[in-house]
Structure 1
Amino acid sequence: MEAIIIIIFVLGYLAIALEHNLKIDKLIPALAMMSILWAIIAVSHLDVFEIDTVSKSLKPEHLEGILLHHLGKTAEILVFLLGAMTIVEIIDYFDGFSTIKSYVKTKKKARLLWLFTTLAFILSAIIDNLTATIVLITILQKIVKEKEVRLWYAGLIVIAANAGGAWSPIGDVTTTMLWIANKVTANSLIEHVLLPSIFCYAVPTFIASRLSIFKGSLDIEIEDNEKPKSKFSATMFYLGLGGILFVPIFKTFTHLPPYVGMMLSLAIIGVFAEYFSKSKFSLSSSNTTDNDGSHHSPIHKSLSKIEMPSILFFLGILMSVAALESLGMLFNFAGVLEESVPFLGTEHASTHISDLVVLLLGAGSAVIDNVPLVAASIGMFSIPIDEPAWHFIAYSAGTGGSMLIIGSAAGVVAMGMEKIDFVWYLKKIGWLALIGFLSGFAVFVLLRDFLLNAA
């Protein structure tokens, strides 16, 4: 029966990886895989377990209890993401991202490259790499008219956005998963991954800025007189970013799950949004009225624009991996891995072989979605919180996807917005992403060993 379960998981995984070829949204195989796996467990009366992190052994559990346990852990991530997505949509409702245009003060191609990649690096650490990519490419399309040049900019933005999301607990779904699962703390993650992530985006940007495509100036008109749609755009932009940044602080002081802080931030930002839009609160209708007539509340409007397919995909894939974890498969695989190569979690610096394991994980994230890879890692390794291996996994899974255009959410959305060809990206941008990934990888190893020796 376990063989059948593995086959179903592999087939579902392939369907997710080949969604563009099959022309089927990846949420469909993810949800189907989740349902079938748990149905087989229930009908076949298979034994389910929970990992005892103290004794590092499997503890038998009832099916309903273990299912509720994993659903609760998954719900923490999904509610957190719903809150973050809503705040981002509220910022967009007030045209807050137009504030970024004020930073564009140069026509030099190389300077503009550094500006956009740096903004991508910073923004992705706050509003996640996917949203940062969408916002910056939208602005890019209004500034850079030459298609070929714009593709290069878009490719470097993808690299920078993925690098920026890797060092922040709120910058990428995978780092958020590790943070919520209590595998990393915000301070330690930043301490270990920030510098490698800077190298990961800065080295490719530096090399690209020396290429002929970024020589000279752009023939553009910087529109200083263009006014945002709302007079509160800048206020909501900074308020929204501040609200998201408040979440790690809230968790540090209260020790409550991150989604609680995110809901508080959403509530506070929602108050300002309703006030600025001169709307009246309504609990019975999504329509509200003001002095000028009827219109939608910014909260309801923002909630209607949430990407529910992404939320359902995360539900499907995380609960599918949870099924394998409940059967003890991931735990047993970790035991095999521990015997065949040095274990990822040791009291000293990781060896070359185990570093290679994490390196392969990063390379794999360019082909396979990094969410299930990290979810599987969480289920496999019972190593302490803030073990360097967790930070290494966060970096590799977050940045490795940049090597292929389909290897990350940021790359996929850039591919759709600019119609970037897979082969073009591989030839023009892939090698830059590889250099950046390996540069950050080397910096991480040096920094990790230095910190461990200093301790």
Structure 2
Amino acid sequence: MENVIILVFVFGYLAITLEHSIKIDKLIPALVMMAISWALISLGIDSFSEWFDSANHGLVEGFSDLAHESKMHLMEETLLHHLGKTAEILVFLLGAMTIVEIIDYFDGFSTIKSFIKTKKKSKILWIFCILAFILSAIIDNLTATIVLISILQKIVKDRDVRIWYAGLIIIAANAGGAWSPIGDVTTTMLWIGNKVSVGHLFGYLFLPSLICMLVPAFIASYMPAFKGYLEVDNFPQEKPKSKFSATMLYLGLGAIVFVPVFKVITHLPPYVGMMLSLGVVAIFAEIYSNSKFSISSHDSEEHDQHAHHSPVHHSLSKIELPSILFFLGILLAVAALESLGILFGFAGTLQETMPMLGTELHGEGVSDLVILLLGVGSAVIDNVPLVAASLGMFSEPMDNELWHFIAYSAGTGGSMLIIGSAAGVVAMGMEKIDFFWYVKKISWLALIGFLAGAVVFMFTRTLF
């Protein structure tokens, strides 16, 4: 039965990877393989010889000798545990997405355009890379990429020039997301899973992530594509749609940054702080829009009218639910493999067979090469299941350097292919960037940045 479940996962994973070829949204195979995997576990519970206790991170002693009812009860408790951990991530992401949409409702991101007053291509490159690095650490790398490419489209009219900027924005956004607990889904997973803390994450990864962005940007600034000046008379000076644009931008970004502070002070899960931040931003949004605040209405017509005018309701309607459902499916599907002890066993095999490159991470002797390969792998296949699998494979304590190296590799490694990260995929869609153009022109820059950052990480980890 274990082999059948592994096959289900492999075929589901292939369908996710080939999403653009088979024209099926990746959330569909993720949900299907999750449901089938847990159904097979339930039906064949008596055939499994071992069970992995995620709460205690170890195999359950004497599992094969337990009665059928006890095994079913243990399975239900395990599934509930994983659902709870997954829900923490999803609720956190829902809050962050809603705040970003509220900022956008007030056209808050138009404020960023005021930072760009030069026409020199190399200077514009540095401005966008630095903005991507900073913004992605606050509003996540996917949203930062969407915002900056939207601004880029208004400033750089020549698409052949613009796609070069887009390629470097992808690298910078993924680098910026790696060192922040709210900058990338995978880093958020590690933070919510109590594998990394805000202080150590910044200490370990800020410098490597910065180098990962600076090295490609520095090399690119000397390339022909970024020589000279933009051929435009004047930048479009559009007025913001709302007089509260700047206020909502700074309020929204400040509210998101407040979440890690709230967790440090209260020791509550991050999603609680995110809900508080969302509530505060929503109050100001409703006041500024001169709209009545109403959670529900008995009169459906009145409710529809309110939803049309309310920034909160409008923002909630813009949330990307397919991504939320994809995370639900993939995280619970990986949890199925973890519960059967498959990932735990695979980790042991990796640690025995992989060379050590002359150095090893503290703990159980996990090779640096394993984590670097995980980074390369995240460029080919989705980094969310890779990190979810690593949570089940390794048992190092909180803030062990292993978790920070995983956060760096999974976060920045995806830049090496345009399909390797959410930022790359969205840029590909917005600018119709060709896969092979990216491989020829941008991938080598991303690889150099990734390796340079990894070398710097090997130095910064010696400081802790």
Q: How many residues align?
A: 445
Q: CA deviation at 1:287?
A: 7.5
Q: CA deviation at 1:447?
A: 1.5
SS of 2:380's partner is coil
1:267 matched to which residue of 2? 279
1:247 to 236, 246, 259: 259
1:256 matched to which residue of 2? 268
Superposed, 1:368-387 pairs within 5 Å as 368-387=381-400
2:79 to 55, 67, 70: 67
8 Å CA contact retained: 1:58, 1:328: no
Distance in 1 (CA, whole Å) between partners of 2:89 and 2:192 is: 7
Go from structure 1 to structure 2 and tell me whether the alpha carbon gap of 1:295 and 1:30 turns closer, same or farther (over 3 Å shift): closer
8 Å CA contact retained: 2:178, 2:408: yes
1:13-61 per-residue CA deviation (whole Å, 9 max, x = no partner) reads 000000001110000000000000000001112554314647x444556
Distance in 2 (CA, whole Å) between partners of 1:400 and 1:209 is: 22
2:331 matched to which residue of 1? 318
SS of 2:53's partner is strand
Distance in 1 (CA, whole Å) between partners of 2:363 and 2:307 is: 63
Q: CA deviation at 1:189?
A: 0.4
2:362 matched to which residue of 1? 346
1:306 matches 2:309: no
Distance in 1 (CA, whole Å) between partners of 2:178 and 2:101 is: 22
Q: CA deviation at 1:345?
A: 4.9
8 Å CA contact retained: 2:136, 2:144: yes
1:116 matched to which residue of 2? 128
1:3 matched to which residue of 2? 3
2:182 matched to which residue of 1? 170
2:24 matched to which residue of 1? 24
Letter in 2 for 1:109: K
Letter in 2 for 1:172: D
8 Å CA contact retained: 1:281, 1:288: no
2:345 matched to which residue of 1? 332
Distance in 2 (CA, whole Å) between partners of 1:294 and 1:124 is: 29
Letter in 1 for 2:388: A
Q: CA deviation at 1:281?
A: 1.3
Q: CA deviation at 1:339?
A: 2.6
Q: CA deviation at 1:417?
A: 0.3
Distance in 2 (CA, whole Å) between partners of 1:250 and 1:305 is: 27
2:440 matched to which residue of 1? 427
| Unmatched runs of 5 consecutive residues or more in structure 1 | none
8 Å CA contact retained: 2:380, 2:419: yes
8 Å CA contact retained: 1:370, 1:397: yes
Distance in 2 (CA, whole Å) between partners of 1:225 and 1:85 is: 27
Go from structure 1 to structure 2 and tell me whether the alpha carbon gap of 1:344 and 1:386 turns closer, same or farther (over 3 Å shift): farther
1:363 matched to which residue of 2? 376
Distance in 2 (CA, whole Å) between partners of 1:295 and 1:78 is: 25
Distance in 2 (CA, whole Å) between partners of 1:275 and 1:26 is: 39
SS of 2:379's partner is coil
Letter in 2 for 1:322: A
Superposed, 1:393-432 pairs within 5 Å as 393-432=406-445
| Unmatched runs of 5 consecutive residues or more in structure 2 | 64-70
Worse overlay, 219-228 or 169-178: 219-228
Q: CA deviation at 1:338?
A: 2.8
Distance in 2 (CA, whole Å) between partners of 1:218 and 1:275 is: 41
Q: CA deviation at 1:347?
A: 5.4
8 Å CA contact retained: 1:334, 1:380: yes
Q: CA RMSD in A?
A: 2.0
TM-score (norm 1): 0.94
Letter in 2 for 1:253: I
8 Å CA contact retained: 2:59, 2:341: no
Distance in 2 (CA, whole Å) between partners of 1:189 and 1:21 is: 37
TM-score (norm 2): 0.92
1:247-306 per-residue CA deviation (whole Å, 9 max, x = no partner) reads 0000001010000000000000000000000011123248779xx999421111000000
Letter in 2 for 1:306: I
2:210 to 174, 183, 198: 198
Letter in 2 for 1:414: A
8 Å CA contact retained: 1:195, 1:443: yes
2:36 matched to which residue of 1? 36
Kindly, what percent of the aligned residue pairs are identical? 70
Distance in 2 (CA, whole Å) between partners of 1:106 and 1:362 is: 36
8 Å CA contact retained: 1:174, 1:398: yes
8 Å CA contact retained: 2:178, 2:209: yes
SS of 1:281's partner is coil
Distance in 2 (CA, whole Å) between partners of 1:28 and 1:295 is: 30
8 Å CA contact retained: 2:54, 2:78: no
Distance in 1 (CA, whole Å) between partners of 2:163 and 2:6 is: 40
8 Å CA contact retained: 1:53, 1:382: no
SS of 2:52's partner is strand
